[in-house]
C-alpha cells in the first residue's frame, strides 16, 4: 500500500475527528495507542523470527510487507466497522484483494488481544452453553406480550423426491 493511500485513510482523523471516529470506531487518541502497541508487537514478532534458525522453507517467508503497521491497522478497522468488501477496499487503495486479505488476517490477532470484545461476545465466551431450564426461566421472566423470534437460521423441512 502506498503512503498516499495511508494518508487518504488518515485524513478524516485530522480534518474531521467525529466522522473519523465513526469510520473505524476509535477516536484519534485510542487509535494512536492501539497503533503504538501493535507496532511494538510487530517489532517483537520480527525479532523472534530473526532469532530462529533458518531453514529452506519457514513460516513468514515470501514477499515482505510494504505497508506500515498503521495502514494495515486502518484497513482492518475499516473492514470490521464498515463491512466493506475486500474488492471495495482493494479498489480504494489501488492494490490486490489478496493483499487486503493478508493485511486483515495479519492484524486480527493483534486486535483480539488489544481491544475488548463486545458484551455479547464476552458473555458467550463465559457461558458457551445455556441450559434449557435457564432459558425457560428467562422466558418466564419476560413481560406478557408478543415475543419476536428470528427464524432465519432455523432448518425448514423440505420435501424430498419420495414425498412428491
pLDDT in tens, 69-86: 888 888 888 888 888 899
Are 96 and 90 within 8 A, CB to CB? yes
pLDDT at 163: 57
Burial class (CB in 10 A: 0-12, 13-18, 19+), 84: middle
For residue 118, give the C-alpha cell.
463486545
Q: Does residue 120 surpass a pLDDT of 80?
A: no
Are 69 and 35 within 8 A, CB to CB? yes
The better pLDDT of the pair 7, 130 is held by 7
For residues 79 and 138, give the distance between their C-alpha atoms in angstroms, rounded to a whole number. Answer: 35
Residue-range domain boundaries for the chain: 3-52+62-114
Nearest to 5 by CA among 99, 82, 80, 98: 99
* DSSP 8-state code for residue 131: -
pLDDT at 151: 60
Q: pLDDT band at 65, cuts 50/70/90?
A: low
Q: pLDDT band at 101, cuts 50/70/90?
A: very high
Are 6 and 67 within 8 A, CB to CB? yes
Q: What are phi and psi of 119, to 5 degrees?
A: -60, -40
- What does the pLDDT look like over 2-57, one tens digit per residue? 666 667 777 777 787 787 788 888 888 888 888 899 889 888 988 887 787 766 66
- What does the pLDDT look like over 36-46, one tens digit per residue? 998 898 889 88
pLDDT at 25: 80
Q: pLDDT band at 147, cuts 50/70/90?
A: low
Amino acid at each position: 500500500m502506498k503512503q498516499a493511500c495511508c494518508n487518504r485513510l488518515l485524513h478524516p482523523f485530522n480534518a474531521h475527528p467525529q466522522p473519523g471516529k465513526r469510520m473505524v470506531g476509535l477516536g484519534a487518541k485510542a487509535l494512536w495507542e492501539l497503533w503504538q502497541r501493535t507496532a511494538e508487537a510487530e517489532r517483537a514478532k520480527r525479532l523472534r523470527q530473526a532469532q530462529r534458525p533458518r531453514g529452506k522453507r519457514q513460516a513468514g517467508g515470501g514477499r515482505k510487507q510494504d505497508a506500515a503497521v498503521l495502514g494495515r491497522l486502518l484497513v482492518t478497522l475499516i473492514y470490521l466497522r464498515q463491512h466493506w468488501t475486500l474488492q471495495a477496499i482493494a479498489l480504494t487503495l489501488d492494490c490486490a484483494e489478496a493483499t487486503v486479505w493478508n493485511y486483515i488476517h495479519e492484524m486480527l490477532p493483534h486486535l483480539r488481544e488489544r481491544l475488548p470484545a463486545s458484551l455479547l461476545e464476552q458473555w458467550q465466551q463465559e457461558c458457551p452453553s445455556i441450559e434449557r431450564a435457564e432459558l425457560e426461566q428467562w422466558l418466564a421472566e419476560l413481560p406478557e406480550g408478543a415475543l419476536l423470534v428470528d427464524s432465519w437460521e432455523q432448518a425448514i423441512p423440505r420435501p424430498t423426491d419420495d414425498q412428491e
